[in-house]
Amino acid sequence: MTLKISRILHAGYVFECDDTQIAFDPIFENPFSRNCHAFPDVRFDREQIRKVRFAAVFISHYHDDHCSLESLDLLDRRTPLYIYCLFEELFAMVRELGFVHVHQLRTNVPVSVGPFEVFPREALDSDVDSMFQIKAAGLNVLNVVDSWIGPEALVGLAQDAPWDMVLWPFQTMREIEVLSPSRAAAAPAALPADWIEQLTILNPRYVVPSSCQFLQESWSWYNRAFFPISYSQFQQEVGAALPDAQIVRLNPSVSVLLDGKSLQTASPLGWVLPVGEQDVDYQYEGNAAPPPTSEIARHFSPLTAEQTDRVIGYCRSGLLEKYSEMELAPDSYFEKVRVWRLSVYDHAGTGTDFHYRLEGDNITALVVDGEQALSWTTEIPIAKFYAALELGESLTSMYMRINDAVFDTQTEEEIQSADIVDDPLIRCLFNDVDFGAYQAAQLRRLKERL
């Protein structure tokens, strides 16, 4: 008896055993999560996908690159969905989409589907993520998704070593560092030490470098600065640390047959269509100088007058109201008086500046004439600003630029200990935001199509 494992995209997989197919974190979009472009490139045969009948679909967490209503919309509404999420709002949205068998996963409580037994395992951030242990055909596979493994969970997983296969999220993402590239430290030259330690404890026969298979837009400087780890580096370092393990690259659509003795190639997924060269690798250029935000903003389509008014109105009033409602941490950089400049760039690269005085939870709009002693700066394309307000866009793809300036000596000293995500715009857009904003925006669009 064998287990067929096929890669869809990112953290998406199809497992098949004894004519039963189940899927994990299925994404059938390119780009997905608004501007994550599949790497290597693929297309999807949507009509074929509509004909696929999964015995069950498992979703590890609610992030939009794992749980997309646009993708779920292609599935038969009788498909049982098992979702790890602590928020009832997501389940309500999925049911509103028409699915009738929607279940909430609990860590360490197994789900049986034909020959499969699927165990949700606790991730380090258990409020958000989960991992999956899949048992079938006498085999034991760990799908780490893109989670981190905590010490207690590792103790439990170690009891099942040696694992037959581990799907390991091999990329670290510098999504915080690209927000302030002029101040970011260089990426470590080696894989995180705890990866090697954990993989050694798990002692798998096969390791698949998994998750994070995407790039940003073709013009994006993120493609040289976001992902510091390549397939070749992962192969080299993990191969040296685990000489008895085989590192197996699974590109989108690629399938393998796993049994107790070997791993063989199998027929690919017919509805995932590779485009161009597939054995491509990431080319990281360290702290490469990024283009100015004014240039980046030119790549986006102009907003309508109504959309522009939405953003400008938010800068003038909505942002102040939102900031005043939130509670600032006592040790925040903004606990003292700070002058903040927010620069919003339109499709022509023209910037509009807004100035604010911040002290703790208080914020006041400033009218600035001439030079102003600044203590924090934020730049953003207006198209991305609007997308965050109305379309559920995440911070990862905002092209926000923070503190790309030189301040006075005292400010420079104090800003060294400031937390980048304490940025006032980040807090206003993403702290205390309604749960599932991305999926809610998807649901509205899907309803409009009907």
Q: How far apart are CA 132 and CA 211, in angstroms?
A: 14
Angstrom CA distances, 208 to 129, 176, 186, 408, stand at 20, 26, 27, 49
* Calpha distance 121→355 (Å, rounded): 47
- The phi and psi torsions of 226 (rounded to 5 degrees) equal -90, -45
- What's the rounded Cα separation, in Å, for the pair 231 and 213? 11
Question: Helices in 46-204 by DSSP H: which ranges?
Answer: 46-51, 69-72, 88-96, 151-158, 193-202
Each domain of the chain, given as residue ranges in start order, spans 3-274, 293-449
**351: three-class secondary structure by DSSP:** strand
Specify burial of residue 348 (Cβ count, 10 A radius: 0-12, 13-18, 19+): exposed
Residue corresponding to tokens 């941490």:
329
Query: What pLDDT score was predicted for residue 371?
Result: 64
Listed in order, strand segments (DSSP E) in 61-115 are 81-83, 102-104, 111-113
Overall CATH class of domain 3-274: alpha beta
Phi, psi of 168 (to 5 degrees): -110, 130
Q: What is the reported pLDDT for 179? A: 95
Q: Which stretches of the chain score pLDDT less than 70?
A: 287-288, 369-371, 432-434
* CB-based contact 48:61 (threshold 8 Å): no
Question: Tell me, what's the pLDDT at 200?
Answer: 97
CA distance 210 to 166: 9
∠ Cα 229 144 119 (to 5°)? 175
**Of 187, 119, 134, residue with least CA distance to 165:** 134
pTM: 0.93
The fold of 293-449 is Nonspecific Lipid-transfer Protein; Chain A (3.30.1050)
| Cis preceding-peptide flag for 209 (omega within 30 of 0) | no
- Could you give the angle at which helices 305-313 and 382-390 cross, rounded to 10 degrees? 80
**Res 169: pLDDT:** 95
Based on the number of CB atoms within 10 Å of its own CB, is 84 exposed (0-12), middle (13-18) or buried (19 or more)?
buried
Number of neighbouring beta carbons within 10 Å of residue 51: 10
Alpha-carbon gap, residue 58 to 165, rounded angstroms: 18
